Amino acid sequence: MATLKFLSFLILQLFFVANNCEGVEVGFYKQTCPNVEAIVKETIKHYISIAPTLAAPLLRMHFHDCFVRGCDGSVLLNSTKGNKAEKDAIPNQSLRGFQVIDAAKSALEKECPGIVSCSDILALAARDAVSLINGPTWSVPLGRRDGRVSILSEASKNLPTPFDNFTTLKTTFGALGLNVKDLVVLSGGHTIGMSHCFSFSSRLYNFTGKGDMDPSMDQNYINRLKIKCRPADVTTIVEMDPGSFKSFDTDYYTMVSKRRGLFASDAALLTDTQTKHYVLSQLNPHGSTFFKDFGESMVKMGQIGILTGRAGEIRKHCAFRN
């Protein structure tokens, strides 16, 4: 009986592997939906031309998707009567651009219905958003399928926060197969976008609970931020990379090197030898490897916990399970 149980278990495992081992590849849709990349890019281009600040949220959305349950589009699912989804977790309540993903999905459903996953659209949208604001481009392996589960508490638990120190960041990234270089490279995504004051106000007003400021932050920068962000301000937003927040470039590393990284997690990059070396190595724009590195780390991140083969589904609408 024990042998039969073991054989049944083994057969189930082999069935799972056989249906989830195909992986992703560049050109996955060349036979089934050859215009997929052009359609997504045209959609992203349309929205970015109207609102360039959407680039950062689209990049962040892919990041937040991959860090919870892998890159399976679970961040796109709406909550239901019986389940609160990732989308409603506090770190995700500031996400924007869901209408962009829906527009791309709608266009693809007209061209090749039931073929392209929402998780693949997210990966392409992140790449295209970055490239359209003067950033790098890279080849995106495709073939992900969409997950059917999205749980609010998992997003609250698994997403990195702006308050994390280096040890916490290294652990969070490492648990997903991302190394220290990936950590410092992907942090460079903070070169675009905006942030609410509450994500860093403790550094300005109450760093250790004694009404003090963060000594690792440049004093002049603190004084400038205090003009915009008053204590307990929960509505004001500021540029994450002042003067350059709409352009994808290496200025983020310049800000961090001057102790002007907005978040505690940005400042943390100067507390580790390897990440500090990377930050400083990007200051010469002609010797910078950031664009190349960013594409490589994005491809690596985009393969975290993916569903392939017969696992998951291809959603008809990205906010709802089939």
Q: Which residues are catalytic?
A: 64
Listing DSSP states for 128-192 in one string gives HHHHTTT-------B--BB-S---HHHHHHHS--TT--HHHHHHHHHTTT--HHHHHHHHGGGGS
Helix (H, G, I), strand (E, B) or coil at 239: strand
To which residue do tokens 């249906």 refer? 19
C-alpha to C-alpha distance for 138 and 230, rounded to whole angstroms: 40
Per-residue DSSP letter, 200: T
Rg, Å, the chain Cα set: 21
The distance of Cα 5 from the centroid of its chain, to the nearest Å, equals: 42
Q: Which amino acid is at 137?
A: T
Q: 154 vs 74, 88, 97, 120, 123, CA distance in Å?
A: 11, 11, 21, 21, 21
